Structure 1
């Protein structure tokens, strides 16, 4: 039996989300149509919007449905960054870095992976108003940024704060203070194909995708109702933070002194460990564990299947070790023996690779 430990790439579909997707598929009807089927679809769409607004403390009218987290981040950055300097964390997801473009200024992180607040304060003070883009939780290490402190600095300098909350939503309470935040359905147990951008009251932006005026003119195209319904259903499910944190801690405690946990000194997501095995390339580890039936990853899963030196770990000052880290991210339905099964496979891999190196 395989052990899936790559939830930060995509979570297994929750049963409630599957049921919601099927129910929405069976409905038929375009949410923009005025006949009965269209009105029923519109009701389902607005129910999902209200559910997201309640969960995250937003107003329904400030929830913009998108095709996923990448689009939500791009919509925020292109819309809110107009006429502003764009500052991005050095460990941001490639989707945010690409949307920000080569002209964006990088904000360094400390050795534990958290943003350097002193450098950020200086960057905000040295120029015109900015848009700061910072993830709530890192996709590779699980490290949580001090969003409340960042928000206070932004407010003091007239900057806007966009928070990529794709990894955090549904796993931990979202920190307050951001002007906009992006979420993705398949990262919390919903289906792929739906995400959302949430805006603080009074903030608006132009559409990145022009179309027929859907989403109050902020995102053109017929809304993917089945995926949106699945997103809302997944978000309503209880989180497994306490149970997953205990499993993660058992994994880390059983690794021994040879392994290094990236970001161990910082607050992290309850389900995530970035485990560095010095001298062993990440790709070698991923393949070896896969052959043993354990599914992990290295770096961001949105890199077209490529495994390379991690820019996140490099930004944390880990040097050559940046190419030796794997990400273990436990899903909501991780079995109770997940820690023991992972450690058995990992220990066998370490012994085998150590003999090969000798």
Structure 2
């Protein structure tokens, strides 16, 4: 299989797997101990959690604290629900936010910030932001890769006494996270860590009401037994990402040039300039993307967000950008990263492009 769906998930880094193994041990080892326990094995597990916390925090702005969650979806819901209790003046977010935030905003009847045909929000002085409320804005969109002006929106939100929640899932470990947000949601499995673990970064001086009640194991902010194995894998993945950031970015940029050249007959969805180069969302007039998925089974790629793939609906991101039904049905999302080789990418894109050509030839 040629894997081109790095926005959905990423291969587990060998370093992350190695870091996890001691905490997956059974009888005859102390690695299974509960990190909340006070005996030696429990304290060792708790120490491992704190080492990983520091590794994860190293890729985030200073002046905040990392709270581990089951993933970014929980982190987003925690921030929105508890943030509304702290700042009851209303909420808003872009029309292309992740489903975890967008559904919550829509359920509350929150007005959404529109995006242009390039997938970018307008300058904050042209957006209607709440007073004493909360603004949600992704740093890198998961479907089209556009990079939003998070720092500028944070400044505008603060001027109104509001909080800024940043979904940094697709950016974390791939680029610098800007200063300014009050809350940042991240996920391990998007930067070669394990699934089932994420975090919410909370700015110092801001204390969110708990979202999950119980024993308060996670710094009295979240309840539930912390998994040392998942946390250690997250920390190791973050450490490697920090060490390889420039190398990974250069590799991704090279692959972008290869892909754009290989798919010269396709139209790019979203801004080319303000975009993460590991995301290429493209469309080709007359192509049926669903059929393309079936025709090219050797390649793993997608029609959009993995979170919304079972809904049967076309991409809310592409619709918000003004694409019509025909254009959204002709669009595919391609993603690559650290472990993608240029040869693999060329071969996979060749298979996709050839299948699209066959569709158009038979339709003529």
User: Structure 2 length normalisation: TM-score?
Assistant: 0.92
1:337 is aligned to: 343
Cα contact 1:209–1:219 (8 A) shared by 2: yes
Give the one of 186, 197, 202 matched to 1:199. 202
Q: Distance in 1 between matches of 2:293 and 2:276?
A: 21
Q: Distance in 1 between matches of 2:285 and 2:138?
A: 27
Give the one of 306, 309, 332 matched to 1:301. 306
Cα contact 2:302–2:334 (8 A) shared by 1: yes
1:351 is aligned to: 357
Change (3 A) 1:256 1:57: closer
Q: What are the superposed Cα offsets for residues 289-335 of structure 1, whole Å, 9 maximum, x if unpaired?
A: 2x2x1110011101254553111011111223122211101032001
Cα contact 2:61–2:177 (8 A) shared by 1: no
Cα contact 1:79–1:205 (8 A) shared by 2: yes
Cα contact 1:20–1:229 (8 A) shared by 2: yes
Q: What are the superposed Cα offsets for residues 259-300 of structure 1, whole Å, 9 maximum, x if unpaired?
A: 1101133411121100111222321222222x2x11100111
Moved more, 244-253 or 339-348: 339-348
Give the one of 305, 317, 327 matched to 2:322. 317
Moved more, 346-355 or 181-190: 346-355
Q: What are the superposed Cα offsets for residues 146-182 of structure 1, whole Å, 9 maximum, x if unpaired?
A: 1122122112222210000111101111122111101
Q: Distance in 2 between matches of 1:352 and 1:206?
A: 56
What 5-or-longer segments of structure 2 have no aligned partner?
26-30
What's the C-alpha RMSD, in Å, of the aligned pairs? Answer: 1.6
In the TM superposition, residue 143 of structure 1 has moved relative to its aligned partner by: 0.6
SS of the residue corresponding to residue 337 of structure 1 reads: helix
In the TM superposition, residue 122 of structure 1 has moved relative to its aligned partner by: 4.4
2:35 is aligned to: 31
In the TM superposition, residue 65 of structure 1 has moved relative to its aligned partner by: 0.3
Cα contact 2:142–2:305 (8 A) shared by 1: yes
Cα contact 2:76–2:185 (8 A) shared by 1: yes
In the TM superposition, residue 248 of structure 1 has moved relative to its aligned partner by: 1.5
In the TM superposition, residue 129 of structure 1 has moved relative to its aligned partner by: 2.1
Q: Distance in 2 between matches of 1:245 and 1:178?
A: 27
Structure-to-structure mapping, 1:44-55, within 5 angstroms: 44-55=48-59
Moved more, 93-102 or 153-162: 93-102
In the TM superposition, residue 341 of structure 1 has moved relative to its aligned partner by: 1.0
2:3 is aligned to: 4
Q: Distance in 2 between matches of 1:135 and 1:226?
A: 28
Change (3 A) 1:340 1:268: same
Q: Distance in 1 between matches of 2:62 and 2:24?
A: 27
2:289 is aligned to: 282
In the TM superposition, residue 136 of structure 1 has moved relative to its aligned partner by: 0.6
1:141 is aligned to: 144
1:244 is aligned to: 252
Cα contact 1:114–1:266 (8 A) shared by 2: no
2:213 is aligned to: 210
Structure-to-structure mapping, 1:114-125, within 5 angstroms: 114-117=120-123, 121-124=126-129
Cα contact 2:251–2:338 (8 A) shared by 1: no
Cα contact 1:67–1:194 (8 A) shared by 2: yes
User: Structure 1 length normalisation: TM-score?
Assistant: 0.93
Q: Distance in 2 between matches of 1:267 and 1:304?
A: 26
Cα contact 2:59–2:172 (8 A) shared by 1: no
Indicate whether 1:260 and 2:241 are aligned: no
SS of the residue corresponding to residue 199 of structure 2 reads: strand
